[in-house]
A and B are shown apart, each in its own frame.
Chain A
Amino acid sequence: MAVNVHIWWIGADAADDRLMDAIRDWITRVFRVQARLYRHPDRPADAFDPRRGQHSSTTILKWLVGREQPGHRTLAITDADLFISVLTFVYGEAQLGGPAAVVSTARLAVEQENRHDPAVVTDRVVKECIHELGHTFGLLHCDTPGCVMTRSVNLIEVDAKRVTLCGLCDARYRELRQKDGHHE
């Protein structure tokens, strides 16, 4: 059975179509799944925390799971700055082996060492989308330099990794997919 990934822009501003297309194309290429852009006006209403001035990624994930369609994975992308309760911010969050993930463009669009090229931002967002979606397939963080599943806690680390899975993670991904009864 083929896995479908719904890519859903849930930001306040309008979606950047070129960015969304790039995300879809890379997801299809890296995970060899059917990915499609999903458009719906609904937005998570109670994710904003006025005390912190940020959106709770955990609340967004719960909201996404409540709207889950069986057999689908949903990757939400937002321009809101995300946090989890103990951390100052997160680039994204995913349910390990679960149906939903969310990624924020807010801190990935920040200039780093005079890099204001939109392609750099697209590259970063795509990497974090692949990374969080990888968690939904059951992949953990990887220690192989350059692998998209390495943990990145700053932009230097995001920029240092590739968009793709390393050989070990790709083998692990195939194994996990087979366990779930999917064959490529």
Chain B
Amino acid sequence: MSKERTRILVVDDEEIVRESLSGWLAKDGYTLATAHDGPTALLMLRQGPWSILLVDLKMPGMDGLQVLEAVKQIQPDVAVVIMTAYATVETAVEAMKSGAYDYLVKPFDPEELSLMMVKIVAQQQLVRENVLLRKVLKRDYHFRDMVSKNPGMHRMFDLARSAARSQSTILLLGESGTGKELLARAMHAESPRHEAPFVAVSCAALTETLLESELFGHEKGSFTGAVARRKGRFESAHGGTLFLDEIGDIAPKLQLDLLRVLEERKFFRVGGSDPVDVDVRIIAATNRDLKKAVADGQFREDLYYRLNVIPIVLPPLRDRREDIPLLVDHFLEHLSVETDRKIEGVSADAVALLMRHDWPGNVRELRNVLERGMVVAKGSVIQPDDLGLMPSGLRAEPFDTSLTLDEVERRHITAVLQHAGGNVTQAARTLAIDRVTLYNKIKKYGLRRGDDDAFGAN
């Protein structure tokens, strides 16, 4: 965490103390503010996050220990240092018992103050990194991790939060990379089912037969290769949430099977004759216009109405450009933990370039562009050239005639996927092949589609 992100609040009734202490610490690059009494400090705490509070013990009205107690209710993670001119063992013990990080006896040694600040900042940095790494490992997403200052997004989050607590089927609509899976995971975390599994299936990634077996499982011997009975995703998600991504792409027979499960809450394994009861909450998602698919006869109308109980629309990034700087900060912080690379930020020119880009791959594309920027940046600040957003024609390389056909295909698919910001549907359209074929090629060449990391959560 950069020093300016360490926000220190000095709470003291003496102006000279507030001025001198904040002036001394501001020269270290921390962000400083002061409050002349406890109630003002608590008001400031309710308005935003703080890292460290330096609080005078003896203040008229609300004393330091009362402030400490109230602070712990509002922001439990903030480190509170109690300052006192009248140090006694009793006050020190009381402060520490009440949850103070430490205490300082006025006037204090500059070395003592300096070391204490460095120690607190380092400790808070470790805690933050630990939380981030846990999230990355567990793919544990929550609404609080989603960043946006767009009012439409906030209305969408409110709807999603309320819907999460219900048992209703949810339909998430939005372009690829807008964060449908992330939202589904956050809704699961907020739902009464959060202790049961969240299981995600990409319906477009598998052929009809494989998807059927993947969803419903199969009995031993039901088809060649079915050497043992296997649980499907519906069974794996029992008690929890099943996320069906790219639902608009499933074949007619599976549409009917799915409709039955939604209506009867039971299904048959492939090759099985006994119905399996299941308690699963469905969150479906698609980037297709399902209404149009229904009108065109490609999607069952009855299934559409079964799924479209609570539709939630995720706007594309180009419609909420004001979030780009916020998302940039968010991703840089997460990527620096993941990649162990320290980057201070993005230059003003690079931010301007990011704001101008159309983002066909939405937030996922933004994250991928920043990851690339972090890797190729020569200094500690990402520059426009590091982002790789220049028109591809300007960067065309001479054709290499020594390459094998497979290598040419691998490179071309990589370039098209990058251009589409990881959007497989769009890439498949550009390549004029179907999505399953593209998924197979991605698997064959070991290409990374990009993380499903769209709102800014990690």
Interface residues of chain A, those whose CB is within 8 Å of chain B, are 52, 58, 83-90, 93, 96, 135, 140-141, 151, 153-154
Contacts and interface: CB of A to CB of B under 8 A. Distances in A.
A126 B453 CA distance: 52
B28 A151 contact: yes
Q: Which of B21, B23, B26, B110 has the most CB of A within 10 A?
A: B110
Interface of B: 14, 16-17, 19-21, 23-24, 26-29, 83, 106-111, 113-114
Given A140-B26, A151-B27, 9 more contacts: A84-B23, A85-B16, A86-B20, A86-B83, A86-B113, A87-B107, A87-B110, A88-B108, A96-B27
B16 A88 contact: no
A179 B113 CA distance: 33
Contact of B107 (A83, A93, A140, A151): A83
Nearest to B114: A153
Contact of B21 (A83, A86, A88): A86
A119 to B, nearest CB: 25
B111 A140 contact: no
Contacts of A90: 24, 110
Contacts of B16: 58, 85
Q: Which of A83, A84, A89, A154 has the most CB of B within 10 A?
A: A84
A85 B28 contact: no
A88 B107 contact: yes
Given A58-B19, A84-B24, A89 B110 contact: yes
Q: Which of A85, A135, A141 has the most CB of B within 10 A?
A: A85
A152 to B, nearest CB: 9
Nearest to A58: B20
Q: Sorted from nearest, which 8 A-B pairs have the closest CB atoms?
A: A84-B20, A153-B111, A153-B110, A140-B29, A85-B16, A85-B20, A141-B28, A153-B114
A85 B107 contact: yes
Contacts of B113: 86-87
Nearest to A157: B111
Contacts of B109: 87-88, 153
Contacts of A154: 111
23 contacts: A52-B107, A58-B19, A84-B20, A85-B17, A86-B20, A86-B21, A86-B83, A86-B113, A87-B20, A87-B24, A87-B108, A87-B110, A88-B109, A90-B24, A93-B23, A96-B26, A140-B26, A140-B27, A140-B28, A140-B29, A141-B28, A151-B114, A153-B114
